[in-house]
Amino acid sequence: MASRDFTVEFDPKQLLGVDGDALKLQDPVSLQEQTIRAIDKRYGPSQGKITVELRPSGRLLVTYRAARVDDRAEQLHRRGIAAAKRKDLKQAIQDWTAAAQLNPSEPKYFFHAGVGYFEVGDYEKAAANLLRTISLCSFHHKALLVLGTLYLKLRKLDKAERFLEASVEIAPDNALGHLNLGAVYSVERKYEQGIKEFEKAIRLAPEDPRPYLGLAKVHSLLGQTERAEYYYRQVIKLDKAGVLRQQAQHNMASIRAQRGPTQEEMAALRRAVAATEAADRAGSVAGAKTGTTDFEEGGVWPADPSRFQGSDPDSLFASGYHAYLNLDYVAAADFYAGYAALRPTDAAGWYALGEALLRKGDLVKAARAFRKAVEVDEQPTFLKQLGLVKLLQGDFATAKATLSRARELGKRDSVTSYLYGRCLAAEGNFADAIIALEQAIRANRNNLAARFELSKALLENDELDLALQRLDELLSIPVDSPVKDEAAILREEVLARKEKQRSF
């Protein structure tokens, strides 16, 4: 079979309405004509050469071949594939587009260009290339799948449904097609159909956490919280990267927050708190070993992790989230500490513990918890919170280094830039502080704290006119804030300094 052929196996019962055995005595030419007519009627006409073969299994092998071949175009296509493998999508798209111009009868050039444009986020050009693909080969299920996924992203659900249904009909063993079709049905509130598609995706790819997450969300929307929690647990168990796992944890926690902790969970909390208080009164921790660990005095949380043994980690996390939402940061920290004790390699647990301790006002232990999160998984958000705590502790050097690393990893939001600017200013580096604070303001023009710190840095850098201008801009923003009162006082100081300069 030539490498430029595109082949699909069809179920004759589904396509023609007859079993494969009934076709064995049929004339091959007649069978080919009958099959092509059925494909044209169901999916639209194609423009290449189509051949049909009845396999021993009774299935129909349909082969598509472009009307012509162009060696120069094939060479460009291979070059595009090589560029895509080295992640140079811009070059790959250029090569595939050039190949399509040389031989516009070959669908694979348009298909690969369409996928390339989809990957770089140019959905208009992606759609144009993929539509061209199926105009040449109407049963190109891969193009139908990407088109359906594209329209799902654009929330053009009628088109997404049509293309994805065609894709899974032609290629029923494609788990991704069922997953995305399930997502479309769910958004359209066709929940029963969505459940069926997610279940098909699970049968085809049981280790993929995404269809479990889809099922969990649907059951949650239907009020079937026990089923939803079951599928969220499957996501937590299967997701190794942690992104879907964190989403599942928080969604499950939201379910728990709505109904509150069970009696068993509250009893566990009371026992845990009592054990901690008893250990504190005794001045030691039950079962503590020699040296300092994460769960001994001087560690993240003064508690013996053995008291959490036998508890369900996900229930602890959910209960911590519930307590956090209810502003009970002591209880939240205790639940999160239990979770971190049972799942010490999950950075999300350490991060949640750090947030609870920060709200509780325990900066020392919050810093340790955030540090543990960073050690497990150096995420920019974890670094940002660690930098915030170190800044609040007055450790400007560590805060600056930590926030600098967060920015290196892409965390350049308004708050991170503001905190970084404060660290620079605290060290007397006002020129760089001004740059960072201006970046914070560009990211969020309503960041009054950044505007105020910028004005202070400009004043320290002896840029009085610009400091006055920035203060006037701050004071003109129609938002009530204590920062504006401080800005008004600082403005008087700037004016006084300007007057003093004029007197000389």
pLDDT tens per residue, range 92-111: 999 999 999 999 999 999 99
> Would you say residue 1 has pLDDT above 50?
no
Asked if 231 contacts 219 with a C-beta cutoff of 8 angstroms, the reply is: yes
Q: Dihedrals φ, ψ of 283, to 5°?
A: 75, 15
> Would you say residue 13 has pLDDT above 60?
yes
Q: What is the per-residue pLDDT across 281-296, written as a single tens digit (0 to 9) for each?
A: 444 333 333 334 565 5
DSSP for 332-397?
Answer: HHHHHHHHHHH-TT-HHHHHHHHHHHHHHT-HHHHHHHHHHHHHH---HHHHHHHHHHHHHTT-HH
Domains of the chain: 6-65 (no CATH), 394-504 (1.25.40.10)
Q: What is the per-residue pLDDT across 109-122, written as a single tens digit (0 to 9) for each?
A: 999 999 999 999 99
DSSP for 106-155?
Answer: -HHHHHHHHHHHHHHT-HHHHHHHHHHHHHH-TT-HHHHHHHHHHHHHTT
Tell me what pLDDT residue 292 has.
41
- Structure letter (DSSP) for residue 69: -
**CA dist., res. 340 & res. 15, Å (int):** 55
The structure tokens listed for 98 are 């050039």
Q: What is the per-residue pLDDT across 401-426, written as a single tens digit (0 to 9) for each?
A: 999 999 999 888 999 999 999 999 99
Q: Is 260 left (phi over 0), alpha (psi -120 to 50) or beta?
A: left
- pTM of the prediction? 0.61
Tell me what pLDDT residue 241 has.
64
Buried b (16+ CB within 10 A) or exposed e, 83-117: bbeeeebebbbbbbbbbbebbbbbbbbbbbbbbbb
Q: What is the per-residue pLDDT across 376-388, written as a single tens digit (0 to 9) for each?
A: 999 999 999 999 9
- Structure letter (DSSP) for residue 26: S
Average pLDDT of span 352-372:
91
